[in-house]
Chain A
Amino acid sequence: MPEKIWKTVASAMIEEFELEPGQMVPEARIKDDLGLDSLDVVDMVIVLETAFDFKIQDKAALKKIITMSDVVDFIVATMAAEKVEAAGG
């Protein structure tokens, strides 16, 4: 797992959703363990967009996110897609 991305995600989540640093483990489930509700998940998209300075296009993919580890994987995939798009365009 990319350390830099993990740190950015974790600190954004702690800051925005008033979570404890101890809760930030890769296997933590967003809803069940961190207590985020559906509105929080919508807000999480904006938080991630702000933290990584990109626009999340594939909103449907967000529904597959269950754990913190999934969030990081999603960010990695989105950044890779952005790079490909930038190179192609």
Chain B
Amino acid sequence: MKKYLLMLLFVFLTVLAVACSNDETSNGDANGDWEPEQPIEIVAPAGAGGGWDTTARMAAKVFSEEGIIEEDIGVVNKPGGGGAVGWAYIAGHEGSAHNLFVASPPLILVPLNGQSEYGYDDFTPLANMIADYGAFAVREDAPWNDLNELFEDMKEDPESISVVGTSSPGSMDHIQFVQIAKAAGVDVTKIKYVTDPEGVGLTQLLNGSVEVFSTGVSETIEQVKAGTIKVLGVTAEERLEGEVLEEFPTAIEQGIDATFVNWRGFFGPPNMDEAAVKYYEAKFKELSDSEEFADIRSQYGWNEMYMDSEEYKSFLDEQNEEVQSLLDELGLGE
């Protein structure tokens, strides 16, 4: 028994040692081509199993399996503070070319809500990889058949309609709804938004506690197939592809000129070396174009949306400004 306990102890200590070790060095060579010289760490600033974690693990898997990047890639979870803990960790690796992280709109939203010291402009955008979109669902027997009917009723009697989402006010589920509703002329300060942190917003919709469910498109598919809910609109620019998905009307085609992109891509620490940025841009492009990653995209219902570092930066600036003005109007921003 003692022997086994010792062995167990040994295994755990090894795991701990590996988990705790940091790579601090970086040798960017601004003149020539840069190549990684040590294992690369990709941080998912959330727990295992979520969207960030999945994206990071899938990218790492294809990178290694297809030999796009020879060096070992490890995915590390740094959950806490809706991402803030992981971002602070990466910010501490200023200039390192071997520490990346995966991010999406919370990197803009969380700092604007005053919940993180570090924001998107502190980091080095490398490449955006995928896009996901929001969907607004109501029960199958609800009186509304499109977004305009819903928004008309919301204008007339804002007290009668509640919207549920999984994340708190000022975060994604809330902002994507507010963005579209505002473009349709709804007074966004009067929207009744309820958060269900246990992730059972769908339950609340199905049992009639609330009227509208603001969520990601992929979470609605099964229920739509089963005929329990209908999707009034999605936040994408154009119709999405895929069975069921292609039937969801966009807000734009209903005359509401607004979109919301749940983008997802990779970033480096502040002041990453220019040569390293070029290296990763090219590698992520190769990843995005690979067949293996295309399979993964279709498996998870993600859309291709590659942007290089430069494009990514200006895209983020735009997004930041939009969200900032929305939060100001809602009285939520810092």
The finding on whether chains A and B are genuine partners in a shared complex, rather than unrelated, reads no
Q: Give B contacts to A, CB under 8 Å.
A: none
Q: Give A contacts to B, CB under 8 Å.
A: none
